[in-house]
């Protein structure tokens, strides 16, 4: 400190004398004002009047951390400071104490006015954070955010907006809240965001809470509920199995009712079917699990949430196979994709087409004679199995060259027969067979002509007449009115099955396998022939008698 006896009396002015005369030393805690006269890295010397100087050390110069006092003040600056020590040796000043006091007063005003302040998190402490807002303040954990925070370390070093909620001037303790500021910000943002929110909007947010019935997602300032049924396209038993708190998700707004917002996560996700068709294609063979049987086929699960139908017609190349005999629920099967209907989300599957189509490898052709086993008899004809999974139809008209022979009289179920292929359609899986074509058509070899009188055996009869076998499978029809010239009521009255009869060919059309016969015409022809013979004999007799008469008369005239 400057001493009066150290001053050069010759250099003093009247003002200097008056200053020394009137000056009194400050007391501790007095606020003094002075001019900076010297600045070093660690201290500042301030002329506070009365030829007296005070010293401010670097740690008392500012509230900020600095390396040198020169970074804060310079010679000639006028500053205020608080006297911390005053004695005969020195006057120690503190600008920091004054700044703290002034800042404390400013914070008091901010508290009273409810102002929002910016602070920096210094460190974590038990129960909360220390935030510097000009002075260190305590931020309790439950006031950090609107949601409970477990990780406080994430805030260290960060700036944040807070509001003073408790201010104690006696012990200079300050408590702040960030939660109040965030809540107010959310309210304003919520109102702005809600005014533009519409059903169908896609939002991105974080899961903030899990419940048994769903999850709450915060997007921006708003919160919406994702019901458990809207989390995934697949069934979700427990919400926590599908979502976690703080997980970022995208969702679609599906309902806005008052302040309640309903969201759907699955609405923005591709469906299992859409995912499936991106990686699979028609004709691909996959493994699946039979999940249920219906009257029209079996449903097979190919992936989670993806099922395809195996129609009854696609179960087996054996068209008689029954559903329960081929598959059962829970069974693993190989299936071929035969239809991917992206428009209607349908998948058609085939069990039988995993194997090669047996019709494609069927080695026979039209005209071949092959063996087979009768599997079924219908009004249409006989179905005959000629190879694994291949059946053909022998129409009843192809049973025999004899049109009167019934198919049922020729073959029976499980009987092995020889047949000839008469038609083959591999694409449509149709095979035409013939029993009669195995043998040569006897109608092409029989030598008959109209008018021939031949011998045959009565094979059968009906109300219209009798069927007479001329040769094997060559059957002629003998109408009832051609049996005798007399009218008959029952054919059986004049003929019997097995009876050998002589008949005359009245009509013969081998291409149509038609042969019409008559017994009556034989008798009539015989009678006509007899009559003609008689008439001829009569003519000859009459000629001879007249000759004799005329001869005798002529002889008499000549005499």
Q: Could you give the angle at the alpha carbon of 119 between the alpha carbons of 105 and 42, nearest 5°? A: 75
Whether 376 is in a domain gets the answer yes
Residue 107 φ then ψ, to 5°: -70, -35
Q: Are residues 260 and 279 in the same domain?
A: no
Both tokens of 179, joined, read: 């939660």
Beta strands at 159-168 and 136-140: parallel, antiparallel or unpaired: unpaired
Whether 534 is in a domain gets the answer no
Rounded CA gap, 225 and 211, in Å?
A: 10
Beta strands at 346-350 and 306-311: parallel, antiparallel or unpaired: parallel
Q: Are residues 498 and 465 in the same domain?
A: yes
Q: For 451-519, where are the alpha helices, taking DSSP H only? A: none
Residue-level pLDDT, tens digit, the chain, 559 residues: 444 344 444 454 434 544 444 557 888 888 899 999 999 999 999 998 866 889 999 998 888 888 999 999 999 999 999 898 898 778 999 988 888 888 888 899 999 999 999 999 999 999 999 999 988 899 999 999 988 888 999 999 999 999 999 998 888 789 999 999 998 888 888 888 888 889 999 999 999 999 999 999 998 888 899 999 999 988 899 999 999 999 999 999 999 988 899 999 999 999 999 999 999 999 999 999 999 999 999 999 999 989 999 999 999 988 888 899 899 999 999 999 999 998 999 999 999 999 888 998 899 999 999 999 999 999 999 999 999 889 999 999 888 888 778 888 889 999 999 999 999 999 898 999 999 889 888 888 888 899 899 999 998 899 899 999 988 888 899 999 988 888 888 888 889 999 999 999 999 988 888 899 999 888 888 788 888 888 887 877 776 665 565 566 556 665 5
**Looking at the 3D structure of the chain, how many domains does it have?**
6
Q: Are residues 258 and 212 in the same domain?
A: yes
Q: Are residues 258 and 276 in the same domain?
A: no
Closest to 494 measured CA to CA, from 483, 505, 485: 483
Whether 85 is in a domain gets the answer yes
Whether 4 is in a domain gets the answer no
Whether 503 is in a domain gets the answer yes
- Chosen domain end from 99, 122, 153: 99
pLDDT of residue 154: 93
Whether 362 is in a domain gets the answer no
- Nearby residues of 349 by Cβ (< 8 Å), 6 or more positions away: 288, 300, 308, 309, 310, 314, 335, 336, 337, 338
Task: Please tell me the pTM assigned to this model.
Answer: 0.53
Q: For 388-519, where are the alpha helices, taking DSSP H only? A: 407-410
Alpha-carbon distances of 218 from 228, 262, 424, rounded to whole Å: 16, 12, 70
- Nearby residues of 63 by Cβ (< 8 Å), 6 or more positions away: 96, 99, 100, 103, 134
pLDDT of residue 169: 81
* CB-CB contact of 237 with 247 (8 Å): no
Rounded CA gap, 301 and 295, in Å?
A: 18
Residue that is written with structure tokens 């926590």 in the block:
240
pLDDT of residue 6: 41
What is the CB-side half-sphere exposure of residue 499 using CA atoms within 13 A? 15
Rounded CA gap, 381 and 393, in Å?
A: 7
Phi/psi region, residue 381 (left: phi>0; alpha: psi -120 to 50; beta: rest), is left
Q: Are residues 317 and 372 in the same domain?
A: no
- Chosen domain end from 293, 319, 350: 350
Q: Are residues 429 and 470 in the same domain?
A: no
* CB-CB contact of 491 with 461 (8 Å): yes
Q: Are residues 258 and 285 in the same domain?
A: no
Radius of gyration from C-alpha coordinates of the chain: 62
Domain containing 65 — which CATH number? Answer: 2.40.50.140
Domain containing 83 equals 30-99
- Chosen domain end from 294, 320, 350: 350
Whether 84 is in a domain gets the answer yes
- Nearby residues of 454 by Cβ (< 8 Å), 6 or more positions away: 448, 470, 502, 503, 504, 505
Rounded CA gap, 143 and 129, in Å?
A: 10
pLDDT of residue 50: 67
Q: Are residues 208 and 250 in the same domain?
A: yes
Whether 537 is in a domain gets the answer no
């Amino acid at each position: 400190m400057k001493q009066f006896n150290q001053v050069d009396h010759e250099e003093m002015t009247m003002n200097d004398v008056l200053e020394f005369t009137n000056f009194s030393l400050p007391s501790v805690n007095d606020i003094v004002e002075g001019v900076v006269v010297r600045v070093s890295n660690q201290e500042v010397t301030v002329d506070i009047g009365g030829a007296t100087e005070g010293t401010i050390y670097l740690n008392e110069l500012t509230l900020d951390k600095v390396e040198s006092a020169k970074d804060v003040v310079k010679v000639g600056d006028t500053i205020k400071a608080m006297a911390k020590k005053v004695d005969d040796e020195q006057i120690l000043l503190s600008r920091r104490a004054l700044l703290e006091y002034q800042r404390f007063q400013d914070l008091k005003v901010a508290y009273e006015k409810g102002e929002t302040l910016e602070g920096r998190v210094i460190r974590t402490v038990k129960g909360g954070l220390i935030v510097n807002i000009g002075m260190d303040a305590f931020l309790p954990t439950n006031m950090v955010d609107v949601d409970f925070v477990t990780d406080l370390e994430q805030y260290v070093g960060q700036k944040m907006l807070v509001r003073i909620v408790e201010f104690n001037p006696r012990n200079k303790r300050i408590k702040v809240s960030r939660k109040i500021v965030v809540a107010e910000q959310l309210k304003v943002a919520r109102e702005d965001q809600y005014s533009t929110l519409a059903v169908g909007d896609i939002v991105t947010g974080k899961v903030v809470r899990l419940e048994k019935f769903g999850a709450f997602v915060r997007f921006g300032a708003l919160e919406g509920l994702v019901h458990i049924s809207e989390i995934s396209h697949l069934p979700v038993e427990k919400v926590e199995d599908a979502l976690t708190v703080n997980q970022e998700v995208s969702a679609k707004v599906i309902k806005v009712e008052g302040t309640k917002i309903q969201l759907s996560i699955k609405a923005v996700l591709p469906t299992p079917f859409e995912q499936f068709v991106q990686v699979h294609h028609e004709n691909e063979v996959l493994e699946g699990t039979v999940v249920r049987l219906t009257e029209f086929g079996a449903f097979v699960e190919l992936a989670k949430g993806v099922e395809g139908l195996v129609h009854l017609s696609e179960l087996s190349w054996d068209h008689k196979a029954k559903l329960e005999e081929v598959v059962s629920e829970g069974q693993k099967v190989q299936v071929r994709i035969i239809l991917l209907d992206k428009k209607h989300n349908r998948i058609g599957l085939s069990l039988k087409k995993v194997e090669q189509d047996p019709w494609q490898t069927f080695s026979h052709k039209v005209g071949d004679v092959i063996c087979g086993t009768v599997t079924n008899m219908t009004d249409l004809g006989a179905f005959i199995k000629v190879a694994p999974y291949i059946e053909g139809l022998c129409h009843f008209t192809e049973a025999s060259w004899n049109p009167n022979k019934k198919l049922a009289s020729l073959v029976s179920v499980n009987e092995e027969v020889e047949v000839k292929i008469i038609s083959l359609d591999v694409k449509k899986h149709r095979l035409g067979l013939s029993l009669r074509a195995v043998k040569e058509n006897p109608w092409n070899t029989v030598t008959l002509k109209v008018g021939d009188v031949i011998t045959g055996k009565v094979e059968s009869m009906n109300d219209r007449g009798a069927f007479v076998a001329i040769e094997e499978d060559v059957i002629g029809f003998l109408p009832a009115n051609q049996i005798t010239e007399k009218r008959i009521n029952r054919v059986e009255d004049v003929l019997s099955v097995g009876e050998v009869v002589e008949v005359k060919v009245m009509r013969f059309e081998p291409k149509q396998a038609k042969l019409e016969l008559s017994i009556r015409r034989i008798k009539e022809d015989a009678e006509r022939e007899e009559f003609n013979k008689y008439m001829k004999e009569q003519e000859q007799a009459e000629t001879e008698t007249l000759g004799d008469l005329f001869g005798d008369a002529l002889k008499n005239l000549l005499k």
